Amino acid sequence: MTPYIIDAHEDIAYNALTFRRDYLLSVVETRRQEKDTLNPQRTGHTLLGWPEYQRGQVAVIFATLFLAPRRYQAGAWETQTFADAAEARKRLENQLNFYRRLCDDHPEQFRLIYNKNDLQQILEPWEKEPAFLPDPAVADPESEPRKTMTHPVGLVLSLEGAEGLRAPEEMEEWWQMGVRFAGPVWAGTRFCGGSYEPGECTREGYALLEVMASLGFTMDISHMTEASAVQALDRYEGPVIASHANARALIKGAQGERQLTDLTIRRLVERDGVMGVLPYNRFLRPGWADTDDRQLVTLRTLAAHVDHICQMAGDALHAGIGTDFDGGFGWPAVPYEIDTIADLQKLAPLLAEFGYPDDSIAQILSQNWRRVLERTLPET
């Protein structure tokens, strides 16, 4: 049976509100609607749509609440930014309400996951029978028609960057509103160093970690500098992950601290954390441009990052997928074999070529993230 996928990072609300994308539509339809707009130029062609989730067996997504600090705003078109805590709160609540409306209005397509019971209800149909949704573009009129079978996709809420909080104690309100994962930083350096600004954990950063752990949040170290990530992994008393990052050791000429060093990966594994690899060409081949030959970066390149994590860990229990689709990029800035998220299933045979058995491949595609969810979500 085709394994289902759990994707640990997608900026669905950000993209829906910024670019007016409707993720109930197919990728083909969204691309058609955006043909004469600036969206593809600003963020690439979309890779996401509910039909593609079904065809790719994407059962669960860690769906983000994400805002960029105003100083990193790409242009007036980028509406999901903040200048102060009040604006951050308003915009984050708008994103939260987007997810609630999406799931309330379309419960057969999307449902929010707040607890273990919600998770079980989402996964049960995916485990009984894979989804099947015919693709009109590849349909064979002479083949015997199969019965359409679709399942709701579960959304787990994740706060990507806590920099807009009024104070660390505000995290309690976000927990009550259903957020279960949180990364302390995106840019830096209020709480710690991040992808754009260097530094270690600050006094307020340690206070944030203490509050998060007391509430039950899973901490996401994806955007932390090596120094701050190692400090946080040593100090944080709750569960830890890296939802979307690659192995810096495999990226020749990598600049900055966006990707994880072997030291950070080792510490994450020691904490029984999981790291989701990210199929973004510039995070796999520095300097890659949309005009480059797409065959320069393939899914085998991504599989090598999975293998690097597994070799360091000594098992296949700490690697997963965190696509970051459509987070500031899209097609063609993805490995050659990918046209939509449904193509993530092509990773499975490549992992088999690396020597991974079926049970290990299932761990990487979904079961490692499932273990994290079952261990960290509240009972009810």
Query: What amino acid occupies position 30?
Result: T
355 phi-psi bin (left φ>0, alpha ψ -120 to 50, beta other): left
Model pLDDT, residue 136: 79
- List, for residues 1-60, the tens digit of each pLDDT value: 789 999 999 999 999 999 999 999 999 999 999 999 999 999 999 999 999 999 999 999
Q: What are phi and psi of 132, to 5 degrees?
A: -140, 120
Instruction: Return the sign of the alpha-carbon dihedral for residues 270, 273, 274, 277.
Output: negative
Q: Check if the beta carbon of residue 201 is closer than 8 Å to that of residue 192.
A: yes
What is the C-alpha to C-alpha distance for residues 232 and 235, in angstroms, rounded to an integer?
5
Model pLDDT, residue 253: 75
How far apart, in Å, are the Cα atoms of 329 and each of 10, 280, 333? 11, 8, 7
Among 347, 327, 329, 348, smallest CA distance to 337 is for 347
Q: Check if the beta carbon of residue 219 is closer than 8 Å to that of residue 232.
A: yes
Model pLDDT, residue 143: 61
pTM for the model stands at 0.97
Q: Residue 110, Cβ neighbours under 10 Å: how many?
A: 23
Structure tokens, 174: 């976000």
- List, for residues 241-290, the tens digit of each pLDDT value: 999 999 999 998 777 899 999 999 999 999 999 999 999 999 999 888 88
- List, for residues 224-243, the tens digit of each pLDDT value: 999 999 999 999 999 999 99
Model pLDDT, residue 139: 60
**Domain annotation for the chain: domains and CATH numbers:** 5-135+147-376 (3.20.20.140)
